[in-house]
Structure 1
Amino acid sequence: MIAYREESGNNLPFSLAVLILPILLNSKIRSRMPKTKASTIHSWINENEDLKIGLSSQITNFLPFTRESIMFGIVHDAISIDDMGGLALKQRKGRLKSDDMEIKNCISKSALLGKLLHKSGNPLTIYSILGIKP
């Protein structure tokens, strides 16, 4: 959410929030993400077409967890929703302290994903690139 907002000046659309967990928690997808924000979702997926296989069902499977995570953030005053349905992180209570490399990798890739999502167009375009029907 932070990286998306820093890049775009807007809050993360809910329709893009549903992509975060399925992309970041799948080590196969996460490990093949671009190294820098110079890329786009379109060029990344063109080079890795096989990553689209099963992504739609993964998004569906993760949807309850995504919703629950957002509701948890709202209840605990960490996430807000603007009038357009955009999600914003309200506060950060400190850094996550972990030596686990997978956790660190998920965090760094989440920032990259936020930047890529902003750079890659509107949610319908991104869904189309990923082969997902809204």
Structure 2
Amino acid sequence: MTTVKSWARRPPDVANLFNPAFCAALLNRLAVGFQGDVKQGLPYPLAFLALPLLLHSGSVALLPPTARTRFHSWILENPQVLFGFPERAKALAPIVREAVSFGLRYELLGFGPEQILIPLAASALKRWEKNPYNKDLSKDAQTLGKLFAQVKDLPTIFALFGVRP
């Protein structure tokens, strides 16, 4: 298992983009989008698909503007999202674990039964979303959460991305 480098050893660009607070905020917004449609928390394994999509500018640019698009249709119409995805997901797994830990510790996320992440209300997110970049990415995370919620079977989502939970 790959571990995350200490802060002193991370290049500034990597430290900024993969900041655990930033990533935990994205996971919170993802869980809000997911929960809005299915009234339950986000399955923990989906965090390992979401961050590699949200932190990859080429993939996030292809997200539909709303969740009215069907998840399967979006994947079929945008196969470039899948290029290199398994490697990206594997490389970002330590970042995802660090973000979830941060989110749990600082109450951006809760952990429910059956390995689900529950978004918790956090006043800091309102300030965070005042930044236009964060606000746009927050909206994208919520849309992705809604897209994930359309598919009721977790293994199906993973199979579409060519990875295993």
- TM-score w.r.t. the length of structure 1 is 0.91
| Distance of 1:3 and 1:81 partners within structure 2 | 16
**RMSD across aligned positions (CA):** 1.5
Say yes or no: does 1:125 pair with 2:153: no
| Distance of 1:47 and 1:133 partners within structure 2 | 22
Are the equivalent residues in 2 in contact too, given 1:25–1:106 (CA < 8 A)?
A: no
Deviation at 1:88, TM superposition (A): 0.6
* Compared CA separation, residues 80 and 53, structure 1 to 2 (3 A): same
Residue segments in structure 1 that go unaligned for 5+ positions in a row: none
Runs of 4+ in 1 over 3 A off after TM superposition: 97-100
| Distance of 1:84 and 1:108 partners within structure 2 | 26
Question: Counterpart of 2:117 in 1: which secondary structure?
Answer: strand
Are the equivalent residues in 2 in contact too, given 1:127–1:133 (CA < 8 A)?
A: yes
Deviation at 1:121, TM superposition (A): 2.6
Task: Report the equivalent of 1:14.
Answer: 44
Are the equivalent residues in 1 in contact too, given 2:129–2:138 (CA < 8 A)?
A: no
The letter for the 2-side match of 1:3 is G
Are the equivalent residues in 1 in contact too, given 2:110–2:117 (CA < 8 A)?
A: yes
| Distance of 2:80 and 2:46 partners within structure 1 | 21
Question: Counterpart of 1:38 in 2: which secondary structure?
Answer: coil
Question: Counterpart of 1:87 in 2: which secondary structure?
Answer: strand
Q: Percent of counterpart pairs with the same letter?
A: 26
* Compared CA separation, residues 4 and 97, structure 1 to 2 (3 A): closer
Deviation at 1:91, TM superposition (A): 2.4
Question: Counterpart of 1:80 in 2: which secondary structure?
Answer: strand
Task: Report the equivalent of 1:76.
Answer: 106
Task: Report the equivalent of 2:146.
Answer: 115
| Distance of 2:122 and 2:130 partners within structure 1 | 16
- TM-score w.r.t. the length of structure 2 is 0.75
For these two proteins, the number of residue pairs brought into alignment is 133
Question: Counterpart of 2:110 in 1: which secondary structure?
Answer: strand
| Distance of 2:129 and 2:81 partners within structure 1 | 31
